Structure 1
């Protein structure tokens, strides 16, 4: 798993225009600020069984702010930081990287691309579908693939995962969607130039 996770991060890093990024101080602050903002969010974990902890993701906001390449790099940095601080184990870093960052983050960005390509480009579509609904779908997908991995790797049986992990998912859907939806709304209204995936000409002008 570590090979797949690191490969995805390297592909993202390879395709970043580093010369342009290094020349823009605002993008430095925005990128690292977004990565740091995820750290306390991911530190707030709750769970009954070891390895079955739940927390809010915030990945949808990061995907819409930074795009796939830089967003994946910064969310991987967030994971590295919380692992370094001891909130996650180094022994599970490979699983957390692939199943907790790379796959759900890529899924969230894919949902945005689908909404951009096939739905009417309107501000409310961006906020409520690419943001609010997307966040709920992303945390659902992440929870499901983690559940499958726990059962497949024989760490827990299906009933234990269902009772101690999947059963919490309905309680996370609306708060995760609301958290990301509100963050995206505030950013679009007050700092639209911070949103790499948002342009007034696409979602607002002549609508």
Structure 2
């Protein structure tokens, strides 16, 4: 087994163990008891599968596709969001889009890292910026999605370069140069999704609270 595969396996399994407690105590009881939550979760998994299937391959292991993981993180929290990417990646393996080694790489670089970045940006905006719905949509949604897409491409580039798959000039000329083209659509996708959910279905957003983002805002006025 290649060193990068072993590294990806260790990181992926470590965070699966970390996520399991939250899945057992918060996600699974609601999932097993609430039919509407089951339908929502199955739809989200299927939607991610479709998004991740429609990817452009610049070179082997240099893929570009919509992530939509900022929205997933806001809906489920980072631990459950990470856990939900596992069946998506399993489905991609089933249809032949990913090998076993590619699945581990995807689980770490294209799932775990974007989810952690998305949650970190949200946490910083929650603690250090005014808590109102516009900050949530534009910072935790639009800006967060775009930044996550950029950092995802950067981390994947560094990963490929570190394990000597490609030289840096090849990565920059064929992969990183596309970063601006994916960042804005990714930000727009997540910003629009969070805008719709926060207005019409705030109960689907685990990190969103009317008390923090709406009522507290008007009370402070």
TM-score range, shorter chain: over 0.9
Residue aligned with 1:53, SS = strand
Show CA shifts across 1:167-197 (max 9, x none).
1111111100001111111111111111111
Q: Tell me if the contact between 1:108 and 1:134 (Cα under 8 Å) persists in the aligned partners.
A: yes
CA distance in 2, matches of 1:48, 1:98: 20
Check 1:168–1:195 CA distance in 2 against 1; reply closer, same or farther (3 A cut).
Answer: same
Determine which of 58, 70, 82 is the counterpart of 2:80: 70
**Paired positions, count:** 207
> Mind listing any 5+ residue stretches in structure 1 that lack a counterpart?
none
**Aligned twin of 2:162:** 152
Q: Tell me if the contact between 1:35 and 1:77 (Cα under 8 Å) persists in the aligned partners.
A: yes
**Aligned twin of 1:5:** 12
**Aligned twin of 1:47:** 57
Deviation at residue 144 of structure 1 after TM alignment = 0.6
Q: Tell me if the contact between 2:22 and 2:80 (Cα under 8 Å) persists in the aligned partners.
A: no
Show CA shifts across 1:23-46 (max 9, x none).
233322222221211111111111
Q: Tell me if the contact between 2:82 and 2:112 (Cα under 8 Å) persists in the aligned partners.
A: yes
**Aligned twin of 2:136:** 126
Note the aligned Cα RMSD (angstroms). 1.4
Deviation at residue 19 of structure 1 after TM alignment = 3.1
Residue aligned with 1:155, SS = coil
Deviation at residue 107 of structure 1 after TM alignment = 1.3
**Aligned twin of 1:56:** 66
**Aligned twin of 1:33:** 43
After TM superposition, the structure 1 = structure 2 runs for residues 80-119 of structure 1, keeping only pairs within 5 Å, are 80-119=90-129
Deviation at residue 22 of structure 1 after TM alignment = 2.2
TM-score by length of 2: 0.89
- Tell me if 1:178 matches 2:156: no
Deviates more, 1:19-28 or 1:55-64: 19-28
**Aligned twin of 1:197:** 207
Q: Tell me if the contact between 1:59 and 1:75 (Cα under 8 Å) persists in the aligned partners.
A: no
Residue aligned with 2:64, SS = coil
Deviation at residue 149 of structure 1 after TM alignment = 0.9
Deviation at residue 20 of structure 1 after TM alignment = 4.3
